[in-house]
Structure 1
């Protein structure tokens, strides 16, 4: 999914001080973003957040639906990241400049590694309910210019325990490893709980973690969590305790604190402002990013860059 904001902020993320040293229980309120004009699809964006830019290498999180809507995102570029598409309801058709054409449905994973440059489009059928998340994973410098790639995983492994099932999207959880390719230590999992369940999910204490409710209200490590905000848990936890008063579904994100500084703007991740300027120029002039086939292949114009490089935004705590 593209960041369709017409005035996206340039955000500096990561670095040695980017994670809370120790446990936290901070509710991060998202902001509503309309994709595709005033009548477009509404999403709640909780990463990057004013207070927390990243969770491990996870640097972007949009939660959309459940809503009867249609996703129509024209061809747009990405660099320096992986896009992770996960659905709870509905279906989305992905096309990219590599020739990939793949429908994703609930329980399946689409993973696109942008590397040095890639472009793609996304669309869903009209008149159907749609509910899901779009996430980005920042690539470390050693892999930021890797060759672009696309993966579709129709089935993923699960970790099960008393009261819960955790489908492992990315990385590893409790010894269960996803087949999706990762470039830094992390975890991403969808955890389902039945009404009345009290579940204990193992965590790595060297990771920072966050939890998002996709449906239902749960108590997570003593914090009541309904769909909307992201609960940031910090580091130092060896387990996650979830209590569900009703059937619930939550997204768990975690990872080793990201030690490198990166700059995010629009759909690009780069090492500095000058690199972002180059990515935008190459997209607008057609020098890179290939051609996306299909009816949404017309390139989405990039927003205007600010007249001067923006200063890094201070991480508030």
Structure 2
């Protein structure tokens, strides 16, 4: 088994500490998971508006929001408006190809003064025809074994199966250690795995990982691997089968080439109908964001 440590690039975004684990130079994807931010925990000042993200587009990906505390309003160009609360997943699908995309906004409701979430993107298999969509999952499989609590956000684990829609094989599993414990994770042949430490620390592959570090794990022929968590630790297990094509990320877009990314930038900035119905921002205080040009050297 090969285990690699990835450390976060952390910045403040409107008073919210955001630790970015994926993509980065040494590792761009874990299976089809192509983006990973740990946002918060944040406590907003009394005069703060909290999270306020204006209308912005996505292509060839799914946004996967796992809420830990606080609440956020999602509104998109398909017409969906949905409040997400802790232990819930919002899954928004941009669709595939040069004619499909989606746009959305994200806002903290008035009176909500905290935010803690894991924000993920899933790269879509671009050889498949996939339409834009939005799904909200208010209830997910949840269980406890030997002082360890589990919530399955997507995929299968043991006898449990999450209802979350998938376009490629994946797993997402929230794990909290009420006491120190060693757990065994079944491994699928050909998959890649990652373990985000949200709080506390774990041991994997002979290394110790602490908050806002990511363990990237290649299991080779092993049928399982072990994680050892200290009491009070909170982690998120991610895994999946790599996609059969390149995954290139720029700003809020995913594609398989620089040229496709540049077309997405042009389409969004010119107001193309590719991204669905323009979101009515009246009364929200939000703006329509402008897509930056793709760097020449991006590959």
Alpha-carbon RMSD across the aligned residues, in angstroms, is 1.9
Q: Of residues 45, 57, 61 in structure 2, which corresponds to 1:77? A: 57
Q: Distance in 2 between the 1:300 and 1:151 partners?
A: 24
Q: Distance in 2 between the 1:284 and 1:311 partners?
A: 20
Structure 1 position 146, deviation (Å): 2.1
- The answer to whether the 8 A contact 1:159-1:176 is kept is no
Structure 1 position 167, deviation (Å): 1.4
Residue 132 of structure 1 aligns with which residue? 117
The reply on whether 1:269 has 2:269 as its aligned counterpart is: no
Structure 1 position 213, deviation (Å): 1.0
1:238-317 equivalent positions in 2, closer than 5 A = 238-288=223-273, 289=275, 290-294=277-281, 295=284, 298-306=287-295, 309-312=296-299
- Return the structure number with greater relative CO, CA threshold 8 A, min gap 6: 1
- The answer to whether the 8 A contact 1:78-1:114 is kept is yes
- The answer to whether the 8 A contact 2:149-2:178 is kept is no
Show structure 1 runs of 5+ residues with no match: 1-22, 313-317
Structure 1 position 202, deviation (Å): 2.3
Residue 28 of structure 1 aligns with which residue? 6
- The answer to whether the 8 A contact 1:92-1:123 is kept is yes
Q: Distance in 1 between the 2:72 and 2:269 partners?
A: 26
The normalised TM-score by structure 2 is 0.88
Show structure 2 runs of 5+ residues with no match: 45-49
1:287-316 Cα deviation digits (max 9, x unpaired): 12121234155311112333xx3253xxxx
Residue 167 of structure 1 aligns with which residue? 151
Residue 188 of structure 1 aligns with which residue? 172
Q: Distance in 2 between the 1:61 and 1:254 partners?
A: 13
Corresponding residue SS for 1:42: strand
Q: Distance in 2 between the 1:240 and 1:164 partners?
A: 17
Q: Distance in 2 between the 1:243 and 1:262 partners?
A: 32
| CA distance 1:214–1:255, change in 2 (3 Å) | same
1:77-226 equivalent positions in 2, closer than 5 A = 77-115=57-95, 116-125=100-109, 128-143=113-128, 146-158=130-142, 160-226=144-210
The normalised TM-score by structure 1 is 0.84
Structure 1 position 258, deviation (Å): 2.3
- Per mean C-alpha deviation after superposition, the further-off stretch among 67-76 and 214-223 is 214-223
- The answer to whether the 8 A contact 1:46-1:60 is kept is yes
Corresponding residue SS for 1:141: coil
1:200-252 Cα deviation digits (max 9, x unpaired): 23232431101011122222343222111111111334334232322121100
Residue 26 of structure 2 aligns with which residue? 51
